[in-house]
Amino acid sequence: MKKMNRWSAMITVMIICVALAVQASERLNTTYTYLTPSDGEFEDEVEQHEFKIEGVLPVMSADEYGFDLAVGAAYQANVWTFDNNRFDDLDLHKIKVPIAATFQATDEIPVRATLTPGIHSDFEDVDDEDFRLEGSVVGSYRYSEVMKFVLGVGFGEEFGDPEAFPIGGVSWQATDELKVDLFFPKPKISYSIHEDLRLYAAGEPAGGEWNVGEGDREFDVQQKGYRFGVGVEYQVADDGWLYAMVGGEWGREVSVAVNEEEIVGDQDVDDAVLIQIGFRLD
């Protein structure tokens, strides 16, 4: 009954978030990802469910200065379900407010700077330890009508540890049908077989960190991994795309720390098959 109540509450929150985001946002992305049960060094099989939604709304534009400001809202829920009683199931959440400014560094190089405060928590006992601050600064240069270069730096939990990481690569419209975005850390190759139908291959890091309360104790749960899969996108409305992907998550690790001191070092978790479905409003 407890598990059913938990899922009912989460599904209700998801539906409300999607409804509000569709009404309020000019850009929207929502995904559900399922990871098949797997075990590893901690000798306990775990199944994962992940839900993400993010909406962005432009709030200011000054074309004469090449400046735009947008504010967004993002919610992520991760459920880790263990197969026995050695560990309690984990309900982990992230609520973020990305603030993005775009401006012209030069006539040919637009820059996008993003600052994202958020709460990463199980919501048992929220305090300043649950607060996180992420961000990025990325510039782009259009070399030709079909090729654009991107270079920048980000700070966040994409690879598990909160740390800086490079962002960069090239976007190449090879043909009318084939687009190649060789960006680190999220590459994507897509091929249009019809104006409303695309095939794609994509990858992304799957790191994260949450502050978890257990009675009078608090600790940070951290995961690492990288996802890659192949999928299909179908346009169902103007700028609205449904998509589905099948793939896997590799290099998976879990660790636990108290006051930034590890009490359970990186524990390998077996690779898992992932199934992902979503909707994107460009």
pLDDT single digits (tens) 76-88: 999 998 886 666 7
Question: What tokens appear for 149 in the block?
Answer: 């270069």
- 259 conformational bin, left if phi > 0, alpha if psi -120 to 50, beta if neither: left
High-pLDDT (> 90) share of the chain, %: 62
Helix (H, G, I), strand (E, B) or coil at 74: strand
pLDDT at residue 42, rounded to an integer: 64
- pTM given for the model: 0.87
Question: What tokens appear for 21 in the block?
Answer: 């985001």
High-pLDDT (> 70) share of the chain, %: 87
- With residue 14 as reference, give the H or E element that holds it: helix 2-24
Q: What's 2-281's CATH class?
A: mainly beta
Nearest residue to 71 (alpha-carbon basis) of 95, 96, 100, 103: 100
* DSSP code per residue over 208-220: EEEEEEETTEEEE
Helix (H, G, I), strand (E, B) or coil at 17: helix
CA dist., res. 194 & res. 136, Å (int)? 34
The structural domains of the chain, with segments of one domain joined by +, span 2-281
Each residue's pLDDT tens digit, 188-207 = 999 999 999 999 999 999 99
Nearest residue to 213 (alpha-carbon basis) of 132, 92, 82, 75: 92
| DSSP type of residue 18 | H
Give the contacts of 131 (CB within 8 A, at least 6 positions apart): 117, 118, 119
- Four-point Cα dihedral 254, 228, 56, 129, nearest 10: 10
Helix and strand counts by DSSP (H, E) for the chain: 1, 17
- With residue 3 as reference, give the H or E element that holds it: helix 2-24
How sure is the predictor about 270, in pLDDT bands with cuts at 50, 70 and 90? very high
Question: What tokens appear for 199 in the block?
Answer: 């095939």
CA dist., res. 127 & res. 145, Å (int)? 49
CA dist., res. 192 & res. 200, Å (int)? 9
Phi and psi torsions of 145, nearest 5°: -65, -20
Mean local confidence (pLDDT), 185-190: 97
CB 140: neighbour CB atoms within 10 A? 17
Q: Parallel, antiparallel, or unpaired: how do β-strands 217-237 and 197-205 relate?
A: antiparallel
CA dist., res. 231 & res. 75, Å (int)? 23
138 has pLDDT over 50: yes
pLDDT at residue 168, rounded to an integer: 97
Question: What tokens appear for 77 in the block?
Answer: 């829920």
* DSSP code per residue over 254-278: EEEEETTEEEEEEEEE--EEEEEEE
- With residue 249 as reference, give the H or E element that holds it: strand 240-258
